[in-house]
Structure 1
Amino acid sequence: MLSRVANSIYWMCRYIERAENVARFIGVNLNLLLDMPSEKDKHWLPLVMTTGDQELFEKNEADYNQEAVLWFLTFDRTYPNSILSCVAAARENARSIREIISSEMWEHLNHFYLELVKEESIKMALQDPDRFFNIIKMRSHLFTGLLDSTMSHGEAWNFARIGMMIERADKTSRILDVKYFMLLPQADLVNTPIDNIQWIAVLRSASAFEMYRKEFHHIIPRNVANFLIFDKNFPRSIYHCISKAQIWLHRIAGTPPGSVTNNAEKQLGRLMADLEYTDIDEVIDSGLHEFLDNLQSRLNMVGGTIGTTFFNIKPQVTSTASEQSQTTLQS
């Protein structure tokens, strides 16, 4: 497979997953505001802080209110991680590899973009944001379903799934970080009803509430963090995402489990081993935020090494959080 093709399909799926997870970030806040209507604006600052793009936001906006943050994270074309920017980038990648992906995938992605740029979408996002961002998530789910059901599960599909899993692991960690930033000025709210409401919102933002309740029943912060980080079966947990990415990376490289042939496998293997031999008590003792921050940095390193190993390119840093963005190949 050409490195250009592998690069495009990898980033196409990362961008779609990123767009979905930005919608999930916003869903955290929208759910919280239903239960905590007072001082609404103060709940939008943590959302931008967790993206690492606070400086970029403040260049164009002065206030962290709902309308400004929704526009920045959803429709701002100058912000490379906004939903519109991600869907546009995914569409351009898909356009360049139409002979590799299925026609259903291309048609859905093209329709996704064209609907998003309509004026009606902007009105819906501002007037009925809960419905709008649920639609974004459903369109992402449909794209993933089309990827799995209409495309051969060969090398191209493996690159697509690796990109999706690395992005998902990173964003699950950031969803947990939303909670951390929300409680920074409110340590006295720990173990109160408001605290429980916030943890429920975090679970719902990862579509994890029902699965968590089946396993743990009661909302206990330690168990919520344990579920979203270490659960082996839940498809949005960090452990599950990284373990799947490692399997698909071995398939591409043609190496059996337990051995490595390149730096990408080595870095991902080390990260997987650390998760295998770490538990939630160690994470809490060392600090949840510190653990998540280190995890995000290592995931960025893995993504960069995949680029240099398989695509022969170096990623550009697009935010203060060192979130990666695609670098196009020179023709």
Structure 2
Amino acid sequence: MLSRVASSVYWLSRYVERAENVARFIDVNYNLTLGESDSFGDQWAPLVYTTGDQIPYEERYGAPNRDNVLKFLLFDEENPNSILSCVSYARENARTIREIIPAVVWEQLNQFYFMVRSAARTPATLDQPQEFCERVRLASHMLVGATEATMSHGEAWHFSRVGRLIERGDKTSRIVDVQYYILLPDARDVGTALDVVRWSALLRSASALAMYRRQYGKITPNRVADFLILDTYFPRAMHFCLRKAQESLRCITGSTAGTFLNLAEQRMGLLCSTMDYTSVEDIIQQGLHQYIDGFQNQLNSVGEAIHEDFFTTSQQSGNQGQIQTQSASQNSQSQIS
């Protein structure tokens, strides 16, 4: 497979997953603040920090508030991590590899793109963003479903899965971090009914509430952290994402379990092994924020190794390579791989 094609497939999935997760960030924060713009104004600022775009945001909008943060994260074309930008980049990547992806995937992505474009021209979207965020999530799920059901599970599919799962694992880690260390306004709220509401909202943001209830029942912070970080069966858990991404890397390179043929496999294997032998008690003792910060740094190094091992074997092509490099560079600065 050409490195250009592999790169486009990989970034197509990453951008779609990123758009979905930005929608999840916004939705959980909107529910936690009940949509307020004043009394909970300080709680809109962290959303900009999670994407690493606080500097360009402050240069253009000044102090964070509800309306500006929503505009910036939903439809700002100058923000490469906005939903509109992510879907646009995904569509551009797909356009360059039309011969690789099934027609139904291209059609679904086009519908996704035009839905977002239409919403961007509708002022009411910023007033009530929950419905739009739900449509983004559903469009992403339909696109992933179309890819799973109609694309041959060869190298291209595996690159697509690696991109999606690395992005998903990173964003799950960030939404856990934001909830516990930023969205919680007062340490005295820990363990109260308000804390339970917040953790429930966090689980909903990852579509995890029903599966968590089935496994644990009562909501407690440690169990929520265990479920979203270390669970190996829930599809949005960090550990699950890395295990499946590692499987796809092995299928691409042809290596066997316990071996590696390049730096990306080595770094991924080290990160997976660390999680295999980590307990939630170890994480809490180390500090949840500190653990997630280290996880994100390691995941960044995996993303960099994938880029070096698979996508830079020759001179990269034109504008699309520039788009991908710019996005990766910006996200690296914010510890988003």
Counterpart-to-counterpart distance in 2, 1:122 and 1:291: 41
2:243 corresponds in structure 1 to: 243
Superposed CA deviations along residues 158-212 of structure 1, whole A, max 9, x for unmatched, are: 0000000000000000110111333565111111111111111110000001100
Aligned to 1:213: 213
2:321 match: none
Aligned to 2:329: 317
User: Following the alignment from structure 2 to structure 1, what is the Cα–Cα distance between the partners of residues 124 and 96?
Assistant: 31
Q: How big is the shift at 1:35?
A: 9.3
1:263-318 Cα shifts (integer Å, max 9, x gaps) = 00000000000000111001001110111111111111111110110111795411
What is the Cα-based RMSD across aligned positions, in Å?
1.8
Shift of 1:48: 1.7
CA distance in 1 between counterparts of 2:300 and 2:122 reads 31
Deviation at 1:38, TM superposition (A): 7.3
- Unpaired runs of at least 5, structure 1: 325-331
Give, in whole Å, the separation in 1 of the partners of 2:300 and 2:225.
21
Larger displacement relative to structure 2 (31-40 or 108-117): 31-40
1:296 aligns with 2:296: yes
Q: What letter is aligned with 1:321? A: S
Asked if 1:90 corresponds to 2:102, the answer is no
**Residue of structure 2 in register with 1:169 after alignment:** 169
* Equivalent AA in structure 2 for residue 128 of structure 1: Q
Q: CA, structure 1 residues 184+196, in 2 after alignment: closer, same or farther (shift >3 Å)?
A: closer
Give the match for residue 327 of structure 1: none
Moved beyond 6 Å, runs of 4+: 35-38
Q: Distance in 2 between matches of 1:82 and 1:37?
A: 20
Corresponding residue number in structure 1 for 2:23: 23
Tell me the equivalent position of 2:53.
53
TM-score of the superposed pair, with normalisation by structure 1:
0.94
Query: Are the counterparts in 1 of residues 119 and 132 from structure 2 also a CA contact under 8 Å?
Result: no
> How many residues in Structure 1 have an aligned counterpart in Structure 2?
324
Residues 21 and 274 of structure 1: CA distance in aligned 2, closer, same or farther (over 3 Å): same
Aligned position for 2:9: 9
Question: Structure 2: 5+ residue runs without aligned partners?
Answer: 314-323
Work out whether residues 183 and 189 of structure 1, in 8 Å CA contact, stay in contact via their aligned partners in 2: no
Residue 222 of structure 1: aligned partner: 222
Q: Take 1:231 and 1:119, find their aligned partners in 2: how far apart are those partners?
A: 36
Secondary structure, counterpart of 2:34 in structure 1: helix
Alignment match, 1:110: 110
> Is the Cα contact below 8 Å between 2:23 and 2:137 reproduced in 1?
yes
One-letter amino acid of the counterpart of residue 4, structure 2: R
Aligned to 1:317, what secondary structure does the other structure show?
A: helix
Flag the 1:200–1:235 CA change in 2: closer, same or farther, 3 A. Answer: same
Residue in structure 2 matched with residue 259 of structure 1 by the alignment? 259
- What amino acid is aligned across from residue 232 of structure 2 in structure 1? K
CA contact (8 A) 2:162 2:245 kept: yes
Does the Cα contact within 8 Å between 2:37 and 2:66 map onto a contact in 1?
Answer: no
The alignment status of 1:280 with 2:280, answered yes or no, reads yes
Q: Within 5 Å, give how 1:77-226 maps onto structure 2.
A: 77-118=77-118, 122-182=122-182, 185-226=185-226
Deviation at 1:57, TM superposition (A): 1.3
Distance in 1 (CA, whole Å) between partners of 2:68 and 2:117 is 18
Aligned in 2, Cα 1:165/1:273: closer, same or farther, shift over 3 Å? same
How far the C-alpha of 1:53 sits from its partner, in A, is: 2.0
How far apart are the structure 1 equivalents of 2:282 and 2:164? 28
26-35 or 144-153, which deviates more: 26-35
**Structure 2: distance between partners of 1:282 and 1:37:** 38
Tell me the residue number matched to 1:328.
Answer: none
* Residue 108 of structure 1, CA deviation: 1.2
Whether the 8 Å contact between 2:37 and 2:65 is mirrored in structure 1 is no
Contact 2:104 2:146 in 1 (8 A): yes
Cα contact 1:124–1:132 (8 A) shared by 2: no
Deviation at 1:127, TM superposition (A): 2.7
Corresponding residue of 2:320: none
Q: Give, as a single letter, the amino acid of the residue that structure 2 aligns with 1:259.
A: T
Q: Are 1:6 and 1:159, in contact at CA under 8 Å, matched by a contact in 2?
A: yes
Offset of residue 81 of structure 1: 0.7
Matches within 5 A, 1:34-53: 34=34, 39-53=39-53
